[in-house]
C-alpha cells in the first residue's frame, strides 16, 4: 500500500465506480452490505440513512462500499433515464449505535498482510473513500450529519464535509491520526480550518484530541448542540422538512456557491499525497493502536479517543 502513488490511487478508484448503476434512493431498506438503512420521507425528497456497522461503525470495506454505492447513485450523469423518482433534496446521516456515529478507517486495510484482500483491492477501497467524501461537496443533494456518538478519524473527515452537522449530548468529534503517524488528509484538515480557523484547527488536529458536543458547537465544528437525542432529532426533522419543500434549483445553486469557499482539488490531492508519503511511518504504529483498542472495539481507549493528554503518554509504543 505505501508504495501507492496518487496516480495509481485514482486509477484504482475508477474501476469500482461501476457499482453506481443501482438506484438505492428509490426504496426503503438496506442494500449492499447492510451498513446503511434507508428511510424515505416526504415522497423521497428526504432520506434518513442509519449507519450500522459493528461496535464502532468502522469505516471498513463494507461501509465504504455501501457509501460509495449510495453517493455514486446520486451523480446526475449516473441517474438512469428510467428512474421513477427525482433524487432526494436532503440526506441525513444518523446512527442508532449509542457510541459511534461513524468511526475511523479500518486500520487492518492499511497493514500489509492483515486482510485477505489484494493490494489492488485495498488501494481501491482507499481511493473510493477519498472520492466518496469529495462527492459530499459536489453532489446537488444537501447532506446533514446528525451525530450523537463518536465521529472520529474517517468519521470526522466525513462529518466536516457534510453541508451541516447537528450534535446530541453523546457526540464526540476529533482526530486521532497524528497519534498514529498520519493526518486527517481526506478533507478533515481543509474543511476544519475553514470552520475553526488555522490556530484552533492546529490545536485539535496536531494534538490528536477529541471534544464533546457543546464545545464543538461553541467553536463552529458543528452547527449546533442539543441537550437530548429527542431535541436533536426534532430540530433536524423540522429543518429537513423545510428544505424538502424548497425549490431544488435554488438549493443546488446556493450549495454550489457556498462550496466555492472549499479547498480546490489540487489542495485535496496534495493532502492525500502526504497521507501516502507518511504511510511507511504510520504502518508500524498501527498494530499497537489495534492492541490498545482490543482490535477496534468500543473499549475505554477507543471511547476515550485520546482525549486525555496522558493517554498518548501511557500508550507506549504507539508514538
The residues of the shown chain that bind its own copies, judged by CB under 8 A, are 142, 162-165, 177-185, 189-191, 193-195, 197-203, 205-208, 220, 222-223, 238-239, 241-243, 245-247, 249-251, 253-263, 267, 270-271, 274-275, 277-278, 281-282, 285, 309, 312-313, 319
- Give the shortest CB-221-to-its own copies separation in angstroms: 9
Residue closer to its own copies (CB basis): 31 or 289: 289
- Give the shortest CB-45-to-its own copies separation in angstroms: 12
Backbone angles phi, psi at 165, to 5 degrees: -145, 135
Residue 39's SS3 state is strand
Sorted by sequence, the CB contacts under 8 Å of residue 158 that are 6+ apart come out as: 59, 93, 102, 133, 136, 145, 151
Cell of 216: 464543538
- Give the shortest CB-21-to-its own copies separation in angstroms: 29
Q: In terms of DSSP bridges, do strands 172-174 and 224-225 run parallel, antiparallel, or are they unpaired?
A: unpaired
- Give the shortest CB-202-to-its own copies separation in angstroms: 5
Cell of 250: 435554488
Residue closer to its own copies (CB basis): 201 or 232: 201
Residue 115's SS3 state is coil
Where does 181-283 have alpha helices with state H? 188-196, 198-207, 213-219, 229-244, 248-259, 265-282
How far out from the chain centre does Cα 129 lie?
8
- Give the shortest CB-31-to-its own copies separation in angstroms: 27
Residue closer to its own copies (CB basis): 254 or 297: 254
Residue closer to its own copies (CB basis): 106 or 177: 177
- Give the shortest CB-155-to-its own copies separation in angstroms: 16
- Give the shortest CB-17-to-its own copies separation in angstroms: 26
| Cβ contact 263:205 at 8 Å | no
Supply angle C-alpha 90, 94, 96, rounded to 5: 150
Q: Which helix (H) or strand (E) holds 300?
A: helix 300-304
- Give the shortest CB-165-to-its own copies separation in angstroms: 6
Q: How many whole angstroms separate alpha carbon 186 and alpha carbon 158?
A: 8
Residue closer to its own copies (CB basis): 121 or 215: 215
Residue closer to its own copies (CB basis): 40 or 200: 200
Q: How many whole angstroms separate alpha carbon 179 and alpha carbon 116?
A: 27
Cell of 124: 481501491
Residue closer to its own copies (CB basis): 29 or 284: 284
Residue closer to its own copies (CB basis): 29 or 317: 317
Amino acid at each position: 500500500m505505501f508504495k501507492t502513488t496518487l496516480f495509481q490511487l485514482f486509477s484504482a478508484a475508477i474501476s469500482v465506480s461501476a457499482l453506481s448503476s443501482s438506484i438505492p434512493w428509490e426504496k426503503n431498506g438496506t442494500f449492499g452490505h447492510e451498513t446503511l438503512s434507508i428511510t424515505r420521507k416526504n415522497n423521497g425528497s428526504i432520506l434518513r440513512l442509519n449507519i450500522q456497522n459493528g461496535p464502532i461503525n468502522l469505516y471498513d470495506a463494507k461501509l465504504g462500499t455501501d457509501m460509495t454505492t449510495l453517493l455514486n447513485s446520486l451523480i446526475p450523469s449516473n441517474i438512469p433515464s428510467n428512474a421513477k423518482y427525482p433524487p432526494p433534496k436532503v440526506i441525513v446521516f444518523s446512527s442508532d449505535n449509542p457510541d459511534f456515529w461513524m468511526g475511523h478507517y479500518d486500520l487492518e486495510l492499511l497493514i500489509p498482510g492483515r486482510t485477505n484482500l489484494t493490494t489492488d483491492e485495498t488501494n481501491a477501497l482507499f481511493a473510493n473513500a477519498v472520492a466518496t467524501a469529495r462527492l459530499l461537496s459536489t453532489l446537488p443533494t444537501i447532506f446533514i450529519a446528525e451525530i450523537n456518538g463518536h465521529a472520529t478519524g474517517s468519521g470526522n473527515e466525513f462529518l466536516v464535509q457534510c453541508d451541516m452537522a447537528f450534535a446530541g449530548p453523546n457526540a464526540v468529534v476529533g482526530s486521532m491520526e497524528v497519534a498514529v503517524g498520519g493526518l486527517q488528509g481526506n478533507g478533515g484538515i481543509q474543511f476544519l480550518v475553514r470552520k475553526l480557523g488555522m490556530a484552533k484547527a492546529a490545536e485539535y488536529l496536531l494534538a490528536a484530541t477529541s471534544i464533546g458536543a457543546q464545545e464543538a458547537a461553541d467553536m463552529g465544528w458543528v452547527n449546533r448542540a442539543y441537550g437530548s437525542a429527542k431535541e436533536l432529532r426534532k430540530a433536524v426533522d423540522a429543518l429537513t422538512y423545510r428544505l424538502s419543500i424548497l425549490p431544488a434549483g435554488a438549493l443546488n445553486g446556493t450549495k454550489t456557491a457556498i462550496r466555492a469557499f472549499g479547498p480546490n482539488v489540487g489542495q485535496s490531492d496534495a493532502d492525500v499525497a502526504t497521507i501516502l508519503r507518511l504511510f511507511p511511518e504510520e504502518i508500524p504504529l498501527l498494530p499497537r493502536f489495534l492492541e490498545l483498542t482490543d482490535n477496534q472495539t468500543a473499549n475505554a481507549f477507543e471511547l476515550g479517543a485520546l482525549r486525555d493528554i496522558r493517554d498518548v503518554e501511557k500508550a507506549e509504543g504507539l508514538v
